[in-house]
Amino acid sequence: MRILVTGGAGFIGSHLVRALVSSSFQVRIFDNLSRGSLDNIRDVLASIEFVEGDVRDYGAVEDVVRGVDAVVHLAALTDVAESTVEPNLYFDVNVRGTYNVAKASRSVSVLVFASSSAVYGEPVKLPIPEDHPLQPKSPYAATKVAGEALVLSFSELYGYRPVVLRLFNVYGPRQSKSYTGVITEFIKRVSRGEPPVIYGDGRQTRDFVHVADVVEAVVTSIKSSRARGVYNIGSGRAVSVNELAKTIMELMGRLDLKPIYKPPRPGDVRHSVANISRAFTELRFNPRIHLLEGLRGLILGGVASGMM
Residues belonging to the active site: 140
Cα(304)–Cα(283) distance, integer angstroms: 35
Closest residue by Cα to residue 150 from 107, 104, 215, 82: 104
What are the b/e assignments for 72-100, b being 16+ CB within 10 Å?
bbbbbbbbbebbbebeeebbbbbbbbbbb
Beta bridge partners of 163: 112, 229
Cα(83)–Cα(92) distance, integer angstroms: 11
User: Which phi and psi angles does 220 have, rounded to 5°?
Assistant: -65, -40
Interstrand relation of 239-240 and 205-206 (parallel, antiparallel or unpaired): antiparallel
Please give the C-alpha separations between residue 5 and each of 13, 27, 56, 233, 294, in angstroms, as whole numbers. 7, 7, 15, 19, 25
Please give the C-alpha separations between residue 2 and each of 11, 27, 48, 233, 279, in angstroms, as whole numbers. 21, 6, 10, 24, 24
- SS3 label, residue 103: helix
CA atoms within 13 A on the CB side of 41: 32
Neighbours of 202 (CB within 10 A): 17
Residues 6+ apart with CB under 8 A from 18: 41, 44
